[in-house]
């Protein structure tokens, strides 16, 4: 790949290998470039604009334009959706992902995006709520419960924590009682609920539609 090569947003094109080979021609200058990647190629799951960059440079660049919403997910029974939530939060440049409960979680679904996404841990819902209050950030629970507001019509706070429960039981009672707002996702079929990872993606995109500067998207 050369410096003037046409670069799309990602490398996910049918029939083409993932990533790029060694840099062709004189190496670019700058601390953001990783000499090992320039020499051997870059097959990481990153957009083309970050090809050959060091991890630290990528994180710093995302930090310069992260959105002021956070994502939290309860993890009291090893929820398998956390990896998907982390990957989606990275795609939308969330400020941080908060794991509530168990520290251990299945990182496979994150597709290594956890290396570029800020993660925080809270032992209990009370700890998460205390952190949010200290930061002056509203907590928005996402669950289809009585009294919830449709997310399709809700005004989501610009600075907020989108809180998701575990697959099955949903948001815990403690979280629902202490949240500033509970929103639901409209459903029209027979299932009682949708996958927690899918729900997180829908909710994050609802925030993006209301608050993000779309001219900054890849």
pLDDT band at 164 (very low <50, low <70, confident <90, very high): very high
- Note the pLDDT of residue 5: 40
- Note the pLDDT of residue 8: 43
Do residues 78 and 57 lie in contact, with contact meaning Cβ atoms separated by under 8 Å? no
Q: How far is 101 from 91, CA to CA, in rounded Å?
A: 24
Higher pLDDT, 167 or 48: 48
Do residues 102 and 76 lie in contact, with contact meaning Cβ atoms separated by under 8 Å? yes
pLDDT band at 11 (very low <50, low <70, confident <90, very high): very low
**Dihedral sign of CA atoms 69, 75, 79, 82 in order:** positive
pLDDT score of 1 more than 60: no
Do residues 53 and 169 lie in contact, with contact meaning Cβ atoms separated by under 8 Å? no
Q: Is the pTM of this model over 0.95?
A: no
Q: What are phi and psi of 142, to 5 degrees?
A: -115, 105
Tens digits of per-residue pLDDT, 192-211?
888 899 999 999 999 999 99
All structural domains of the chain, each given as residue ranges with its CATH number in brackets, are 10-64 (no CATH), 69-213 (3.40.1280.10)
Angle at 170 between CA 165 and CA 174, to 5 degrees: 70
């Amino acid at each position: 790949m050369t410096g003037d090569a046409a670069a799309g947003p990602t490398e996910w094109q049918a029939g083409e290998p993932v990533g790029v080979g060694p840099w062709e021609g004189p190496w670019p200058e700058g601390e953001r470039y990783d000499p090992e990647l320039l020499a051997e190629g870059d097959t990481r799951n990153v957009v083309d604009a970050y090809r050959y960059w060091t991890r630290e440079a990528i994180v710093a660049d995302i930090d310069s334009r992260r959105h002021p919403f956070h994502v939290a997910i309860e993890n009291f029974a090893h929820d398998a959706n956390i990896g998907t939530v982390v990957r989606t939060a990275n795609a939308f440049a969330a400020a941080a992902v908060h794991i509530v409960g168990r520290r251990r979680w299945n990182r496979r679904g994150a597709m290594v995006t956890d290396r570029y996404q800020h993660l925080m841990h809270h032992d209990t819902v009370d700890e998460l709520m205390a952190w949010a209050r200290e930061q002056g950030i509203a907590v928005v629970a996402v669950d289809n419960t009585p009294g919830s507001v449709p997310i399709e019509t809700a005004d989501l706070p610009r600075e907020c924590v989108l809180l998701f429960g575990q697959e099955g039981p949903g948001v815990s009672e403690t979280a629902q009682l202490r949240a500033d707002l509970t929103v639901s996702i409209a459903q029209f079929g027979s299932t009682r609920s949708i996958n927690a990872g899918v729900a997180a993606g829908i909710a994050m995109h609802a925030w993006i539609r209301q608050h993000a500067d779309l001219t900054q998207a890849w």
